[in-house]
Structure 1
Amino acid sequence: MYEEKTLILIKPDGVKLGIIGEIITRIERKGYRIEALKVAKASKEQLQDHYSELVNKTFYKEIETYMQEGPIIAVIASGTQIINVFHRMAGATNPSLANFGTIRGDFGHEYNDDILRNIVHSSDSLRQAKKEIKIWFPEMY
């Protein structure tokens, strides 16, 4: 096995709830390392690059609105199998369906405006992680 790097975003609802430390602690307690961390305000260009496969979908505008509601925390984390393991730690995409004990199951909930807010994002593959890290940490490349 080899070490992987992934991008994790603590989305505006996670920042607003004040659970940045809790999420970082969960990552570190699992034995993974934080390689880089910064507070960011998502630009339209970053979001269009990040969600390039969704830009033409009818729900994309909701994603853009949500991701620009407030600051996000961008994290590069590393470790063996971190991509798959963090996905399990995050839980189901819809917080109402996420198991308790996962980040989304413990902290997420649905809102009345029908915008899916789900606390965190993480890359779903090595290829995607490389792409996303370059979007959110261009200074490292």
Structure 2
Amino acid sequence: MAIEQTFSIIKPNAMKKNAIGDIISMFEANGLKIAAAKVTILSKSKAEEFYAEHKERPFFGELVSFMTSGPVTIMCLQGENAVAKNREIMGATDPKKAAVGTVRAKFGDNVGENAVHGSDSTASAARELALFFEKHEICNV
């Protein structure tokens, strides 16, 4: 199995619920390690850059507004098949459709405020990690 790194964000609604520790514990209990993490508030320009693929969609403005509404925790997660494992732990995008016990089922409010983001591929992970972390900030655990 391949050791990978993936990118994760604990979104503002989960931060407001004080769910950071619970979410990180779920990642760690499923074999993912935190290689880097920091709490930050996304600027409008950083959120727009991050979600650029959605720029033409009607929900883009609302998404950017939500993601800049409060602190987020950004992380580099590392482990065997980290991208797929993280997506499994997160659950379906819509918390109402997410499997019981997943992060989004437990802490998500709706499709837009679904508690967490995770990279959908190793290529996305590399791009997203580079957007938020300097190389020296990400360690090999």
TM-score normalized by the length of structure 2: 0.91
Unpaired runs of 5+ in structure 1?
none
User: Is 1:9 the counterpart of 2:9 in the alignment?
Assistant: yes
Q: 124, 128, 132: which one pairs with 1:128?
A: 124
Per-residue deviation, 1:27 = 1.0
The match for 2:20 is: 20
- TM-fit CA distance, 1:128: 0.4
Structure 2: how far apart are the matches of 1:8 and 1:64? Answer: 17
Name which of structure 1's ranges 117-126 and 40-49 shifts more when overlaid on structure 2: 40-49
Kindly report the root-mean-square deviation, in angstroms, between the aligned alpha carbons of the 2 structures: 1.5
The answer to whether the Cα contact below 8 Å between 2:41 and 2:68 also exists between their aligned partners in 1 is yes
Give 2:61's aligned residue.
61
Q: Which ranges of structure 2 fall in alignment gaps of 5 or more residues?
A: none
- C-alpha displacement at 1:45, in angstroms? 2.0
- Following superposition, the deviation at residue 109 of structure 1 comes to 2.4
Quote the offset at 1:138 in angstroms. Answer: 3.5
TM-superposed CA distance for 1:139, in Å, is 6.1
Per the alignment, residue 116 of structure 1 pairs with 112
Tell me, yes or no, if the aligned pair for 2:5 and 2:78 is still in contact at 8 Å. yes
Q: Is the 8 A contact 1:134 1:140 kept in 2?
A: no
SS of match in other structure, 1:53: helix
Identity %: 34
* 2:130 corresponds to 1:137: no
Query: What is the letter of the counterpart of residue 34 of structure 2?
Result: I
Runs of 4+ in 1 over 4 A off after TM superposition: none
- Alignment match, 1:77: 77
Cα distance between partner residues in 1 of 2:48 and 2:136:
20
CA deviation after TM superposition for structure 1 residue 140, in Å: 3.8
| Deviation for aligned residue 1:69 | 1.2
